[in-house]
Structure 1
Amino acid sequence: MRNDLSIREEKSKDFPFIRSLTEQAFLNVPESDHTEHLLVERLRQSEAYIPELSLVAETNTGKIVGHILLSKVGIVSEEGTTTVLSVAPLSVLPEFQRQGIGGMLLREAHRRAALLSYKAVLLLGHKDYYPRFGYRKASSYGIRFPFNAPDECCMAIELEPDGLKEIHGLVHYPNAFFE
């Protein structure tokens, strides 16, 4: 872990910096629709938002260089709906990428989510990046995503042993993801 960074919960005064950071982080990502910053703002206004799981990475000079947001999603099956979390988005300023900051944010978000008794996290992400943090194809747990995306990009991680053992079905995203 870098000792020149700290990870903390976002504050309302950080919102403009997080918006700019998120825009910059996805600017040159071909798979992006370049609206991730708007998604963050919509999620903050939704019931899916968990303030304790919206984190920033900040340098010892006070510069915000990364952000992660975990929000509530449901997995719907015949047995009912189970609430888990979704990473959307994970952002690091381009000039700070490839320095381990995304991993630091992800691990800390997982730790805090587990303390809040969440059992699992889902994401749609890069097939070569997230497995190093323990993510596996969601389909291996019997979890399907509601859109056309490559199976290897639809992933899940258990935050506790067997956290997804009895959970399967279709992911239901809150309306904030589609507005």
Structure 2
Amino acid sequence: MIIREEKKREFYTVTALVREAYISADRSTGREYKLVEALRESDAYIPKLSLVSIIDNAIAGYGMFLRGKVGDQDVLILGLLAVAQSMRGHGVGGALVLEGQRLARKMGYSYLFVYGSNVYYPRLGYDFAHNFGVEPPEGLDREHMMCIKLDAQAAPLEAGTLEYPELFKTLEMF
């Protein structure tokens, strides 16, 4: 498995993968693929943290890490993780998350948030965001808002609410 930055020529393939991956998801709006397209044009988008997983020369998974805020502090948000249905259970998602964490740490980010499974993400080192003093935005429940501290030396976060990119609200993702 190779994990690398998404290339512009792969945008269509990645968007199709996201659409297919979320068709059967428990908590899906059906608009995740539209969100990916819109986020690529936004200030929240970080090309170096828009990652694809390649297996047998095909895109097997995708992770999009985005700029967010808690108060005045810049943080990262795993905005979307998608794995081809045929590749689920093979470690693709976990590998994308771990590589994203490694790159984010290297880029100087101290905290990474994700709204997702409170069973899956703790296996990758995540804890409830409220244990860091951070609450999810309105419309998301706190039992699925997770956080990992990427830099052990980082100052604690100020208590507050995680701010997602505005497009999540515009596209009514929550």
Length-normalised TM-score, structure 1: 0.91
Partner residue in 1 for 2:70: 75
Report whether the alignment pairs 1:66 with 2:55: no
Alpha-carbon deviations, 1:138-166, whole Å to 9, x = none?
00111011123332201110101153614
Does the CA-based 8 Å contact 2:73-2:157 persist in structure 1? no
- Paired-residue identity, %: 33
Does 2:150 align with 1:155? no
Indicate the residue corresponding to 1:128 in structure 2: 119
Asked whether 1:22 is paired with 2:18, we answer: yes
2:50 is matched with which residue: 39, 54, 60? 54
- Pick one of 144, 157, 168 that aligns with 2:159: 168
Assess, with a 3 A threshold, how the Cα gap between structure 1 residues 141 and 164 changes in structure 2: closer, same or farther: farther
Which SS does the other structure have where 2:96 is aligned?
helix
1:37-71 CA-to-partner distances (Å, cap 9, x unmatched) read 11111111111111000000011x32001000000
In structure 1, the partner of 2:32 is 36
Q: Say how many residue pairs are matched.
A: 170
Tell me the alpha carbon deviations over residues 122-142 of structure 1, each in whole angstroms, 9 at most, x when there is no partner: 111011110100110000111
**How much does 1:177 deviate?**
1.6
After the TM superposition, which of the residue ranges 104-113 and 150-159 deviates more from structure 2?
A: 150-159
1:85 corresponds in structure 2 to: 76
From the superposition, tell whether residues 127 and 172 of structure 1 become closer, same or farther in structure 2 (CA, over 3 Å).
same
Unpaired stretches in structure 1, ≥5 consecutive residues = none
Over aligned residues, Cα RMSD in angstroms? Answer: 1.2
Counterparts of 1:94 and 1:26 in 2: how far apart (Å)? 9
